[in-house]
Amino acid sequence: MRHSMTDTTSKTKLAAIDHVAIPVTDVESSVKWYTSQFNCNIEYQDDTWAFLAFENIKLALVVTHQHPPHLAFVSPHAESYGQLKTHRDGSRSIYIKDPAGNAVEIVAEDSVPKNGG
C-alpha cells in the first residue's frame, strides 16, 4: 500500500527524538529506581510525571490517567501539525497518532532547553 504525501511541504522530516514516555504506577518510586540504577538527572518531577535526562535522550515516567505513553520528536515547525499546548514545564507540543494508534508528541524546538542550559 502506498502512503500519500499530502501536506508534507509544511512539515519537515524529524531528525531528533526528544524523549520516550513510559507508563508507571508511582512516579516517586520509579524516579528513585531509575536514578539509583542509571546515570541520569531529574529535570522535572511532580505527582503525575517526571523527566529524567540521560546523556543522549530523556525518559518521561508518566501516570497513564494523566499522560499517555508516547514517543516525542522535536520539530522547528511543530505548529504545522495543529494547535500547540503549553505544558507546566514550559514546553509546547501537540499529540498525534500514528497509523497503529500509538501516541506521538511533536514538540516545538524553540520550547526545548538546549543541552547544558
CATH code of the domain occupying 16-110? 3.10.180.10
Q: Which three cell numbers stand for residue 62?
A: 508518566
pTM over 0.75: yes
In a 10 Å sphere around its CB, with 0-12 CB exposed, 13-18 middle and 19+ buried, how is residue 52 labelled? buried
pLDDT at residue 108 in the model: 94
pLDDT in tens, the chain (117 residues): 333 334 444 566 776 899 999 999 999 999 999 999 999 999 999 999 999 999 999 999 999 888 889 999 999 999 999 999 998 888 899 999 999 999 999 999 999 876 544
**Alpha-carbon torsion angle 21, 38, 18, 20, nearest 10:** -20
**Domain parsing of the chain, residue ranges:** 16-110
